[in-house]
Amino acid sequence: MKNIIVFALGMQIFAVPLYAQKKDSLSHLLQLSIENLMDIPIYSVSKTSESTFEAPLSSSVLTKEQIKRAGCTSIMEALRLVPGIIVREQTNGNYDIHLRGLDNIPPNASLVFFTSSTTLVMIDNFPVYNYLHGGTFWETLPVDINDVEKIEVVRGPAAALYGPNAVSGVINIITRKPAKDGLYSVANVQYGSHNSLIANASAGYKFNDKISAIISGNFQNRNRTQTTYYDPITNSYVGLDSLTAVKINPLGRANVNERYPHPHLAMRKYAVNGFINYNPSNKIQLSASLGTQQAEVQKIFATDSYSANIATAKAETRYANLKSTINDCMVHLSYLYGTQSPIEGLRIWKWNYHTLDAVVEYNFKKIRNLNITPGIIYRRAVYDDSKYVNTDIKEGLWSGKAESITKALSLRTDYKLFDQKLRLVAGGRVDKFNYPKKTYYSYQLAATYKINERHLIRVVNSKAYRTPLIIDLFSNLDISGRLNATQTFLLELRGNKDIRLLSSALFEVGYRAQLRDNLKLDLELFTTKTKDFSYTIFESGQFNPTGPVGFTGLLELNNITIYAKQWGSTLAMDYVEGKWQFKPFITVQKTMLYDYSRYANSPSAPPTASNNFNPALNNIYSGRGTKMKHKATPSFYGGAYINWKAGSKLNLNLNPWFFSSQQQLQSSNLTYNDGQRGVENVKGKLLLNAAISYAVTKKLILTGNFRNCLNNEDREFYKADSPSFMIFGGVHFEF
């Protein structure tokens, strides 16, 4: 921990005096000018292309050049180069990703509540959000690093721009387009430790200034870094056949093989994409993309009594994305459908789904320096498990078709005054859902003031709601089993169509400075309040000592009293000197929980050991008036991008990343209460990645890639695999 603190402070201290060194040529660095390196345009902040320096919201841009030179092996890993994002490895190539944290709320929850459910991920403004429980199944992304032009990240609630999924922020993956007329092709292959193969290829053609097309494909195969799984009964990591959950599986070896078809495998995925752009005039822009992907991974998402924390997940999806801009009117349609099985071999965790998103916006520019953009939005998400379960006996999570519909109106205004020094940006959105039957209002108010060309201050106040989740609304599962020698039990799990939606409110101030032509500073101070979390609550139950069903209980998805507050600061710097680029960043924050109760039952629940046989005293309301530090979100984290163009052909890159210690608490902590089982004490750690590339020709580059150079094997996520030092060798071709 001490080393991490010294490193984090050293990055910031070291960056400031560098500009005093003798200036080398500032005209070109890695084929880019300093201006292009330090002020890359961003679209996602206000849905118009603008300078990152002048953007009104907390935001960052990660370019394809930075991703390539840092040696990133996936989009997920590349996000470690972005300020404000926490990236934890679960298995080789699979990561848990949060914007500013707020993970594992409530503490002592089941694994599905560990995952991020408040960040909206998009590909060219096409949402790839998971409506089951929120967030993103990252392995189902159809695009990979070869497709990326840049990744834009907006931190903080942005529902007024993108809808009720962007509670903690937005990650928008912008895909590449051919830059020059004629044939375009890019291919790269990396092979490394643990049989890790990453292959990407794309080919395109720009016919003229009006029309271009690209087809791309990607493939990844990665083995796990270990062969064992965590066994909570023995509190140890054991082979699959020694796992208690496997040995007690009543369906025998056949179901074990179905759950774990490839125990050695961490990830195997492939995808094919097509992109076409047609711009017949300056006022008409048309684009379309479509693709398909298949993925099999072992990761941590959810579990049951007969699987380890790490489970096999499979998915097969297809998508189509259409966008047109005619004069000042924009129409965007996207459709995604497929099959998902987050716990392979467990039928209740398998379904077909499809989502439709439609957005129409019109940009009024009739008044000087004022843009007004109203919008109409329609969204429909359908999840159907009826093909895989017996719906008559409520065998599935929702036992049939679950449909969530959103209809919304939005309005954005952008006004510049005082010679465009002061900029006022306001956005509002009204969402009406089929369930819950309540109208929700999101807003975003921002102002920037340009003191001069080198200094800018900004302030933001915003609020966003999370979209209604399928599990929260439509759960409809009956769970039965043996209570004793003569009786059974029945637990009825039900959703709540009147549940309140999780919301987050933000207040933020920021300062940006171009201290010199080659030195840029970005500081943000923020505070958030997030409330109306949901959880599975034991509502009621009844014992029957004489009947065949000895106990009947009701479990309902409902809101809990806990709420979270955050106070934090992110500092990012960008320094260019000759053939060097140095971009350190760090976030320091404090996360507090209020009104938390460890009891997941109502006052009317039956007396059981889980409520100390006193539900009237020990229930979901018992924590009112309390506060505690939330240990699952690190108090500081960050990294750096350090690049040296050593010559015309050689490039060297270091990209360290670090976080402070954390403690994750899973529901079995309340069962065992021994401080070990159900507890993961994640140690603070420093990761160091390095990459080297050598241009044999302008079109052919050889790469060497070294991940986790310090071989820090400390786990980063609850009962996950241990990361290991990995070496990759590769070839990159671009024509």
pLDDT tens digits along 364-419: 987 888 999 999 999 999 999 999 999 989 998 999 999 999 999 999 999 999 98
Mean pLDDT of 522-544: 95
Contact predicate 473/484, CB 8 Å? no
**Above pLDDT 90, what percent of the chain?**
76
Q: Please list the residues that pair with 320 across neighbouring strands.
A: 290, 335
pLDDT in tens, 322-369: 999 999 999 999 999 999 999 998 888 999 999 999 999 999 987 888
Domain assignment of residue 259, yes or no: no
Name the phi and psi angles at 671, rounded to 5: -75, -50
Contact predicate 620/611, CB 8 Å? no
DSSP state of 466: P
DSSP state of 92: T
Residue 420 has pLDDT above 80, yes or no: yes
Contact predicate 617/551, CB 8 Å? no
CA 559 to chain centre: 23
Residue (of 162, 165, 160) closest to 441 by Cα position: 160
Mean pLDDT of the chain: 91
For 15, the domain range is 8-227+264-734
Better-scored residue on pLDDT, 386 or 5: 386
Residue that is written with structure tokens 């408040």 in the block: 118
Residue that is written with structure tokens 């994002």 in the block: 85
As a whole number of angstroms, the distance between CA 77 and CA 396 comes to: 34
Exposed/middle/buried for residue 30 (C-beta within 10 Å: 0-12, 13-18, 19+): middle
Residue 554 has pLDDT above 80, yes or no: yes
Would you state the structure tokens that stand for residue 129, as one six-digit string? 């959000």
CATH code assigned at 540: 2.40.170.20
pLDDT at 681: 96
Would you state the structure tokens that stand for residue 389, as one six-digit string? 């379960």
Domain assignment of residue 243, yes or no: no
pLDDT in tens, 424-446: 999 999 999 999 999 999 999 99
Mean pLDDT of 96-103: 92
pLDDT at 39: 67
pLDDT at 33: 53
First to last CA, the chain: 46
Residue 25 has pLDDT above 70, yes or no: no
As a whole number of angstroms, the distance between CA 315 and CA 117 comes to: 19
Give CA separation, 528 vs 503, 505, 566, 568, in Å.
10, 5, 5, 9
Is the pTM above the cut of 0.75? yes
Residue 22 has pLDDT above 50, yes or no: no
Residue 609 has pLDDT above 80, yes or no: yes
Exposed/middle/buried for residue 374 (C-beta within 10 Å: 0-12, 13-18, 19+): middle
DSSP state of 7: H
Residue 29 has pLDDT above 70, yes or no: no
Give CA separation, 185 vs 69, 214, 217, 246, 681, in Å.
19, 9, 12, 48, 46
Residue 79 has pLDDT above 50, yes or no: yes
As a whole number of angstroms, the distance between CA 187 and CA 718 comes to: 36
Torsion angle, alpha carbons of 156, 379, 466, 100, to 10: -30
Neighbours of 2 (CB within 10 A): 7
Count how many domains the chain has.
Answer: 1
Note the helical H segments in 575-694: 668-672
Output the CA torsion sign for 156, 161, 165, 171.
Answer: negative
Give CA separation, 125 vs 61, 100, 358, 654, in Å.
15, 22, 11, 31
DSSP state of 347: G
Domain assignment of residue 242, yes or no: no
DSSP state of 57: S
As a whole number of angstroms, the distance between CA 535 and CA 537 comes to: 6
Better-scored residue on pLDDT, 672 or 44: 672
Contact predicate 40/61, CB 8 Å? yes
As a whole number of angstroms, the distance between CA 130 and CA 340 comes to: 11
Domain assignment of residue 232, yes or no: no
Name the phi and psi angles at 77, rounded to 5: -65, -35
Contact predicate 344/259, CB 8 Å? yes
Residue that is written with structure tokens 């029957």 in the block: 544
* Residue positions counted in the chain: 735
Mean pLDDT of 177-197: 92
Choose the weakest-confidence range: 102-106, 177-181, 470-474, 513-517: 177-181
